[in-house]
């Protein structure tokens, strides 16, 4: 196992690494496009943590080592976790596991190592199921660890999740688990998406995360998600160990890992035997894992050890080495990004790796190709960075042909053939031709992508076809497409035409953060877009904001501020935004969340369509003022807020005699006590 690199010495080195980690967090959590492996990320994070321990006065308030990233999802209610959902510290060697055991032993004041518990670390999406009197009330994603999305309807599409538990059980409890997409389902979905010309799912984890964020549970059901439960949060002390937790979960008929993939290790060597067993059988598992969870078995010891930052002291993740494959480089090509950045790509002899066939690997920039000395015809080792993005790790020099020659970056754009430009202090080489069709096509792809406007049924192949036929040359052109434009295009049938036009129409209403992200402004990612929208509030106000105002926003740096200002001052970009608005795109104002406790102790249910706020915005308002928003009406509900076209929740509320407020009554209450 590779050793961690040298330590960070200066404050500037530390701040640079914090900025780099934030960028990788955004790529992983918000864009589902990681560039580095979990191992590489953890090595960088370890350097930051080491510096922060030695220099606590320099710790950046937005350091990723103290945060769990995940932006709120649009269209879902948010709810607080009763007990925060933490992430685990990672280890990569037996030596690091031994250090963990030593820390635990010292923490509990024991003269001998504690009994440990091992289980598979499923590569999925963390979930919390809340049961009251044995009945499922709601299911919440991890979110930022403190607040997550309520996805109860989507969780109920998983047939192994019981709505009512088998008694006996505590009065109230949270069950922690991991939602995942089986490998067989993942492969079948990608086959279907390939036939439809849609973008392929990067891996099962992304597939599961995307399915949980779908607003229509009927679609989620087609993704055939599964769930393994592993944890229990309850005030009742009827279990004493983690192994007893598993036994209780099984009694309640909740889905747990198969026998043989969890159990007690009386000594540390038992952990290593478990790791070796899993390593040998990993390739035969019907789901993806990215390691082993090692935790203290005794729950009282877990409580005593507590947490530090965003990680518990009583558990670690032993990460397995990424799977590798060997193949040959058939060619080195170039792709043009939306900002003109030229990225080298290795075209590979197809090879199967971690459940999918790999044909291409992005090489990020010219320096990486030269540093690794990757050449056409080379035999190379590849793995998936973060088990997602194919990455060339190293060249097998023993198999290099004597006639091979080093690769050099061309000096012309591969699409428009205009000279490429280099910018001082930047690794990237760019095409600066505004009319380059490669850049324009990449901008449309980004605009329509899931992390931006999220236009259904508009995959990369469909975009390329529309672009080649001159039907869409700029993002705004999407909103003037008509049925007649598509009828004579090869491969477009009546159903696919209607699906595409409906997807475009549905994207017309968006929030400000979504539009900022969709514009593809250099250095402005999803997190930055969210913070800017929260401060700016409206599109009109955004145009008025100065560089200094933008830089004063937490989480927005000077690069982001300069880039956004330059973009908005550019006449062509202003015209583009004006075209979007004139073609019917409606940008909802971003409403800042109030703070207070006026709704403290009150539980609300929302039903129907509200006028002044979306249901998500109304939920955030209630939560920020101390209230709780649940998805189902029950005897513990205090108020039901009713909009237009309410559903069955209104009928149930009347039957139970629960107070009902229409939107105007609720707003009067809100304004009166503001």
State how far the alpha carbon of 155 is from the alpha carbons of 129, 141, 158, 205, in Å.
9, 10, 6, 15
Asked whether the predicted pLDDT for residue 228 surpasses 80, the reply is yes
Question: How many Cβ atoms sit within 10 Å of the Cβ of residue 328?
Answer: 16
DSSP 8-class letter at 430: E
For strands 356-362 and 342-353, give the pairing: antiparallel
pLDDT confidence band for 1 (50 / 70 / 90): very low
Query: Which residue, 11, 21, 13, 97, is CA-closest to 65?
Result: 21
pLDDT mean over 227-251: 91
Alpha carbon 261 to chain centroid distance? 26
Q: Which long-range contacts (CB under 8 A, 24 or more apart) does 350-355 make?
A: 351/325, 351/326, 351/327, 351/382, 352/325, 353/323, 353/324, 353/325, 353/382, 353/383, 353/384, 353/390, 354/203, 354/288, 354/322, 354/323, 354/384, 354/387, 355/183, 355/186, 355/187, 355/203, 355/204, 355/288
pLDDT confidence band for 422 (50 / 70 / 90): confident
User: Which residues sit opposite 262 in a β-bridge?
Assistant: 119
pLDDT mean over 522-529: 82
SS (H, E, C) 493-523: CHHHHHHHHHHHHHCCEEEHHHHHHHCCCCC
Buried b / exposed e along 65-93 (16+ C-beta atoms within 10 A): bebbbbbbbbebbbbebeeebbbbbbbbe
pLDDT mean over 468-490: 92
- Considering the segment(s) 11-66 as one domain, its CATH architecture is Orthogonal Bundle (1.10)
pLDDT confidence band for 673 (50 / 70 / 90): very low
Task: Evaluate whether 317 touches 292 at the Cβ level (below 8 Å).
Answer: yes
pLDDT confidence band for 13 (50 / 70 / 90): confident
pLDDT confidence band for 3 (50 / 70 / 90): very low
The rounded percent of the chain whose pLDDT value lies above 70 is 90
- Considering the segment(s) 324-430 as one domain, its CATH architecture is Beta Barrel (2.40)
Between 38 and 110, where is the model more confident?
Answer: 110
Lowest mean pLDDT among 27-36, 174-183, 220-229, 539-548: 27-36
Q: Which pLDDT tens digit goes with each residue over 101-151? A: 999 999 999 888 899 999 999 999 999 999 999 999 999 999 888 888 999
Query: Which residue, 429, 412, 488, 491, is CA-closest to 457?
Result: 491
Classify domain 603-672 at the CATH class level: alpha beta
Q: What is the pLDDT of residue 73?
A: 61
Lowest mean pLDDT among 74-83, 225-234, 398-407: 74-83
Q: What is d(CA 264, CA 97) in angstroms, rounded to the nearest whole number? A: 16
- What are the residue numbers of the active site? 121
pLDDT mean over 457-486: 93
Q: Which long-range contacts (CB under 8 A, 24 or more apart) does 391-394 make?
A: 391/36, 391/37, 391/361, 391/362, 392/329, 392/346, 392/361, 392/363, 393/324
Between 425 and 103, where is the model more confident?
Answer: 103
Between 624 and 190, where is the model more confident?
Answer: 190
Cis peptide before 312 (omega within 30 of 0): no
Domain ranges for the chain? 11-66, 78-319, 324-430, 437-588, 603-672
Classify domain 78-319 at the CATH class level: alpha beta
User: How high does pLDDT run on average in the chain?
Assistant: 86
pLDDT mean over 392-421: 92
Task: Evaluate whether 526 touches 472 at the Cβ level (below 8 Å).
Answer: no
pLDDT confidence band for 29 (50 / 70 / 90): low
Between 407 and 60, where is the model more confident?
Answer: 407
pLDDT confidence band for 478 (50 / 70 / 90): very high
State how far the alpha carbon of 517 is from the alpha carbons of 311, 450, 514, in Å.
30, 11, 5
- CATH fold label, 437-588: DNA polymerase; domain 1 (1.10.150)
Q: What is the pLDDT of residue 644?
A: 77
Q: What is the pLDDT of residue 489?
A: 85
pLDDT mean over 633-646: 84
For strands 311-312 and 429-431, give the pairing: unpaired
Q: What is the pLDDT of residue 2?
A: 39
Query: Which residue, 126, 301, 117, is CA-closest to 227?
Result: 126
Q: What is the pLDDT of residue 480?
A: 95
Buried b / exposed e along 600-633 (16+ C-beta atoms within 10 A): eeebbbbbbebeebbbbbbbbbbbbbebbbbbeb
Q: What is the pLDDT of residue 386?
A: 47
Q: Do domains 324-430 and 437-588 have the same CATH topology?
A: no
Q: Which pLDDT tens digit goes with each residue over 279-338? A: 888 878 999 898 999 999 999 999 999 988 778 999 999 988 777 888 999 999 999 999
Alpha carbon 184 to chain centroid distance? 22
Asked whether the predicted pLDDT for residue 176 surpasses 90, the reply is yes
Q: Which pLDDT tens digit goes with each residue over 555-612? A: 788 888 999 999 999 999 999 999 999 999 999 887 655 556 778 778 889 988 776 6
Q: What is the pLDDT of residue 187?
A: 85
Q: What is the pLDDT of residue 56?
A: 78
The rounded percent of the chain whose pLDDT value lies above 90 is 42
pLDDT confidence band for 33 (50 / 70 / 90): low
State how far the alpha carbon of 390 is from the alpha carbons of 279, 340, 656, in Å.
21, 22, 55
Between 640 and 646, where is the model more confident?
Answer: 640
């Amino acid at each position: 196992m590779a050793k961690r690199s040298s330590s960070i010495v200066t404050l500037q080195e530390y701040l640079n690494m914090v900025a780099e980690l934030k960028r990788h967090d955004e790529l992983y959590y918000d864009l589902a496009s990681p560039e580095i492996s979990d191992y590489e990320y953890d090595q960088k994070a370890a350097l930051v943590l080491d510096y922060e321990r030695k220099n606590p006065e320099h710790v950046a308030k937005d350091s990723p080592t103290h945060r769990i990233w995940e932006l709120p999802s649009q269209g879902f209610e948010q709810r607080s976790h009763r007990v925060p959902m933490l992430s685990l510290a990672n280890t990569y060697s037996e030596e690091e596991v031994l250090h963990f055991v030593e820390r635990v032993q010292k923490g509990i004041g024991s003269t001998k190592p504690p009994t440990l518990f091992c289980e598979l670390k499923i590569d999925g999406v963390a979930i919390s199921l809340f049961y009251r009197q044995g009945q499922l009330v709601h299911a919440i994603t991890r979110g930022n660890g403190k607040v997550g999305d309520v996805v109860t309807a989507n969780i109920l599409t998983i047939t192994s999740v019981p709505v009512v538990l088998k008694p006996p059980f505590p009065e109230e409890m949270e069950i922690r688990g991991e939602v995942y997409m089986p490998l067989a389902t993942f492969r079948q979905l990608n086959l279907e998406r390939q036939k439809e010309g849609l973008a392929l799912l990067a891996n099962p984890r992304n597939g599961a995360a995307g399915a949980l964020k779908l607003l229509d549970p009927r679609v989620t059901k087609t993704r055939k998600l599964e769930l393994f439960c592993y944890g229990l949060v309850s005030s009742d002390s009827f279990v004493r160990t983690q192994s007893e937790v598993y036994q209780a979960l099984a009694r309640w008929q909740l889905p747990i890992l198969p026998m043989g993939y969890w159990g007690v290790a009386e000594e540390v060597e038992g952990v290593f035997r478990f790791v070796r067993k899993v390593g040998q059988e990993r390739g035969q598992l019907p789901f993806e894992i990215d390691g082993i969870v090692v935790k203290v078995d005794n729950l009282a010891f877990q409580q005593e050890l507590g947490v530090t930052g965003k990680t518990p002291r009583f558990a670690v993740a032993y990460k397995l080495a990424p799977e590798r494959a060997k193949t040959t480089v058939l060619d080195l090509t170039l792709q043009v990004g939306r900002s003109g950045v030229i990225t080298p790509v290795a075209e590979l002899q197809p090879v199967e790796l971690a459940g999918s066939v790999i044909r291409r690997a992005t090489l990020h920039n010219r320096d990486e190709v030269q540093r690794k000395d990757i050449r056409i015809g080379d035999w190379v080792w590849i793995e998936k960075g973060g088990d997602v993005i194919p990455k060339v790790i190293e060249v097998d020099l023993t198999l290099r042909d004597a006639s091979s020659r080093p690769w050099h970056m061309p000096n012309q754009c591969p699409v428009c053939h205009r000279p490429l430009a280099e910018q001082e202090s930047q690794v990237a080489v760019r095409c600066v031709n505004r009319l380059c069709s490669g850049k324009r096509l990449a901008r449309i792809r980004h605009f329509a992508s899931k992390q931006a406007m999220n236009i259904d049924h508009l995959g990369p192949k469909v975009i390329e076809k529309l672009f080649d036929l001159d039907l869409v040359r700029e993002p705004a052109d999407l909103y003037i497409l008509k049925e007649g434009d598509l009828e004579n295009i090869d491969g477009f049938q009546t159903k696919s035409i209607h699906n595409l036009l409906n997807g475009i129409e549905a994207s017309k209403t968006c929030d400000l953060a979504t539009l900022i992200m969709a514009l593809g402004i250099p250095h402005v990612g999803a997190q930055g877009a969210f913070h800017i929208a929260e401060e700016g509030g409206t599109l009109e106000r955004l145009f008025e904001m100065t560089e200094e105002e933008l830089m004063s926003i937490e989480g927005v740096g000077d690069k982001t501020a300069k880039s956004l200002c330059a973009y908005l001052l550019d006449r062509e970009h202003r015209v583009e935004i004006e075209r979007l608005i004139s073609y019917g795109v409606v940008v909802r104002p971003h409403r800042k969340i109030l703070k207070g406790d006026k709704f403290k102790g009150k539980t609300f249910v929302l039903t129907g369509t509200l006028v002044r706020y979306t249901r998500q915005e109304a939920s955030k308002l209630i939560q920020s003022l101390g209230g709780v928003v649940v998805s189902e009406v029950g005897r513990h509900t205090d108020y039901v807020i009713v909009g237009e076209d309410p559903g069955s929740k209104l009928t149930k509320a009347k039957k139970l005699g629960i107070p009902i407020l229409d939107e105007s009554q609720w707003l009067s209450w809100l304004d009166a006590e503001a």
